[in-house]
Structure 1
Amino acid sequence: MAWKTLDDMDMAGKTVLLRVDINVPVEEGRVTDATRIDKIVPTVRDILAKGGKPVLLAHFGRPKGKPDPAMSLAVTLPALEAALGQPVRFAGDCVGETAAAAVAALAPGEVLLLENTRFHAGEEKNDPALAQAMADLGDVYVNDAFSAAHRAHASTEGLARLLPACAGRLMEAELKALEAALGTPERPVVAVVGGAKVSTKLDLLGNLLGKVDHLVIGGGMANTFLVAQGIEVGKSLAERDMADTARAILDKAGAAGCTIHLPLDIVVAREFKAGAPCETVAAGACPPDAMILDAGPETVAAITRTFAACRTLIWNGPLGAFEIAPFDTATNAAAKAAADLTAEGRLVSVAGGGDTVAALNKSGAAASFTFISTAGGAFLEWMEGKDLPGVAALMT
């Protein structure tokens, strides 16, 4: 990929407009999870080390294009200052006289946070005038918000085309990991795709079939594929109206030389609650009054063998109802197997998506994966093969 990084930019004495994602959870006026804030620290520090003056641009919540005190970025200041280990200045607007005066007053070594970009209706409309007003504040543009890169907004796409632009450290890490997973991966490649519904992941499955050697389908999605093969799934979640689509996916996989892996055995229960009585049966033996809530040990063993035979793993979605024990067993076991292979240097493992991150964190395996993307929608759209406007704008 032809995009610049911080290493390619001269920032000495320059004002650097840094687009970040610090859209963090807040309760009772305080940040409850500063993970996203912690992740931008390396970029901010590198800009400071290169003699640049970082001016942070970010969105927060959905204020619908007008100022809303309840969605002011001022609430993030204590967490930002704690993460950076220094005071952070704040301006009550991201453009205009207020922003310009704050930028002009910024001394070397200081950091400035501008108010919520979505307080302006032109942000989500990618209004050229708003993008230009932002550009007028700085000399260099750095995008470190991969999680917002699938949106063509003024601060993510329009602004990148008006100033010398590059990727920040977090964006750089995301792009390198994604390129290693699907761009030019070490083969064979296996993808795990789980979740409730096939209908929400058609684009994803369609793109992966031509790019991976093995596709493991789990969660409620797997039930739909079982139904498509004439297998009864009792009271399980399944999109029976998607059976023809599932069969078409199986046919396309065969033509593309991609092996699809479905459950061989299943864990079933009569109710979905913690500690509910359950049993393991063959995939084709779900009782009429039961529901499939997890993959069984034979399935996990087969998945583990597939992982061991591959060099690259892409993971999106759990294998079962991981939120409640014991139906997290398959996801936890497969995740541990992937983590162990990664730690041994035998597998490059990249995972992303909200439920995926939660499941891998819950399993304790996340720390050993090569890369865990917290980007959500942007990660999914990349897996679907779609162009991300915020990334495309950085291409040289």
Structure 2
Amino acid sequence: MSFQDFNFFGKRVLLRCDFNVPLDSQGKISDDFRLQRALSTIFFLRKAGAIIIIISHLGEPQDIKNKRKRKKQLTLKPIGQRLSCLLREKVLFSKKNKGRSVQRIVKKMKPGEILLLENLRFDKGEEQNSLKFAKQLGRLGDVFVNEAFSVCHRAHASMAALAQVLPCLAGPELDKEFNFLSQMLQNPPRPLVVLIGGNKTESKLQVIKRFLTIADYLLLAGEVANTILSAKGLWPSHPLLPAQEIEMVKEINLTDQKIYLPLDVLASCDQSGQGIIRQTGPAAVRLDEDIFDIGPETVNVYQEIIAQARAVFWAGPVGLFEVEAFSHGTREIALAIAKSQASLKLAGGGETVAALRKFNLTNDFSFISTGGGAMLNFLAGEKLPGLSALGLCHPEASSNEPKDLVV
């Protein structure tokens, strides 16, 4: 049964969202895009008369050894407050994510009310994919709705084990993301232009290999392009690369006519943009310089290719767009995609989303994925435990199995 066909009236719905939002130095939310993406699903459930219990994680609590500091920095309480403002409705908050105290709160809730539980990763059972922890969560609900595509590559209790405890449904946003990404892989309009930039080099090298068999044009930029330029000897002054990345780059045939690398770049000794900035070829970058953006010649070539596209997929900015002096390339590429006649325009990843929001272009894309790692893994053909639990296995998934349940 689909999400839209399910009778939610009076049902306790465990809604798994990804509210792992960026925080500033004061611990305040700096971008609430992921919260905004969940609003339509929450409104739907409220209108349907569901009792909504939202579960999520925030950050990496295990990296903070001091328990008091950990709870102060990574509590979901501020998330609940921001969500309440966005919904214009009261959102209850529980300091715990399991146990009798939470059960008592849920028992008193009425249809349409919303409760946000504390950070799931405060319990070690979450990342261990513990069936015991999943059962503790399961006592709070009648049905489990997964609306967190961006966490589906994690074999965690709230993604995998929970689907064995409760009837489970794919949320509408998750389902939409699955279908858009599947279309990009299986039946995209032609020509398909794929632009890969940003960091997460190892993951993106896997995606590049996959798209070499699918895309009509493969435009590379950012750190992933820098890595390829260095490994192929086209940027001699680049620092030494990890051996694994060098081996992966060796498998990429740069004579393939689909592949485009930067012709010129903006190089500088100062990433603040206050120092001397040179437009130069990658091979002429000096030892004391780094590459912070693509140059105008590369921008022009990439714009011309994008203008021909009927489908575009973009993952990762082409430069250090947060600094104005190095934002030109990313801004111009984003505008080129926004203005193109392509019928399918997909973008994804945290930095890409941040760039599109900075340039006010989010409404010019068919779909924007919030799932960086999950999106890349899916596009590389890997099995995602969260999708498998919902019966949405990738048709060409690898044989890698999810982490075993901890009973």
- The SS at the match of 2:205 is helix
**1:152 aligned residue:** 155
**2:397 aligned residue:** none
Cα distance change, pair 15–244 in 1 and its aligned pair in 2 (3 A): closer
Any idea what the Cα deviations from partners look like across 1:222-271, whole Å, max 9, x if unmatched? 3443455554x3645674966664343016x84xxx71111223334455
List structure 1 runs of 4+ shifted beyond 6 angstroms.
none
Any idea what the Cα deviations from partners look like across 1:81-140, whole Å, max 9, x if unmatched? 212222222333322211221111111221122232223221111111221222222211
**1:195 aligned residue:** 198
Letter matched to residue 155 of structure 1: S
**1:15 aligned residue:** 12
> Residues 300-319 of structure 1: matches in 2 within 5 Å?
300-319=299-318
Cα distance change, pair 287–138 in 1 and its aligned pair in 2 (3 A): closer
| Aligned mate of 1:51, from 49, 52, 70 | 49
| Matches of 1:7 and 1:267, distance apart in 2 | 50
Cα distance change, pair 208–153 in 1 and its aligned pair in 2 (3 A): same
Q: Which moved more, 1:240-249 or 1:386-395?
A: 240-249
- The SS at the match of 1:298 is helix
**TM-score (ref. length: structure 1):** 0.85
**2:386 aligned residue:** 390
**TM-score (ref. length: structure 2):** 0.83
> Residues 212-223 of structure 1: matches in 2 within 5 Å?
212-223=215-226
| Matches of 1:313 and 1:290, distance apart in 2 | 32
Cα offset, 1:340, TM superposition:
0.4
Cα distance change, pair 319–102 in 1 and its aligned pair in 2 (3 A): same
**2:114 aligned residue:** 111
Letter matched to residue 17 of structure 1: L
| Matches of 1:79 and 1:6, distance apart in 2 | 26
Q: Which moved more, 1:287-296 or 1:203-212?
A: 287-296
**1:137 aligned residue:** 140
Cα distance change, pair 244–151 in 1 and its aligned pair in 2 (3 A): closer
| Aligned mate of 2:84, from 81, 105, 110 | 81
- Number of residue pairs matched by the alignment: 385
Gaps of at least 5 residues in structure 1 are none
Cα distance change, pair 347–277 in 1 and its aligned pair in 2 (3 A): farther
Cα distance change, pair 325–85 in 1 and its aligned pair in 2 (3 A): closer
| Matches of 1:322 and 1:387, distance apart in 2 | 32
State yes or no: 1:265 paired with 2:264. yes
| Aligned mate of 1:162, from 160, 165, 171 | 165
Q: Retained in 2: the 8 A contact 1:196–1:237?
A: no
- The SS at the match of 1:381 is helix
**RMSD value, Cα:** 3.0
Any idea what the Cα deviations from partners look like across 1:344-378, whole Å, max 9, x if unmatched? 4x242211222222333334434312222222322
| Matches of 1:266 and 1:61, distance apart in 2 | 34
- The SS at the match of 1:134 is helix
Cα distance change, pair 221–140 in 1 and its aligned pair in 2 (3 A): closer
Letter matched to residue 19 of structure 1: R
| Matches of 2:203 and 2:377, distance apart in 1 | 12
**1:352 aligned residue:** 348
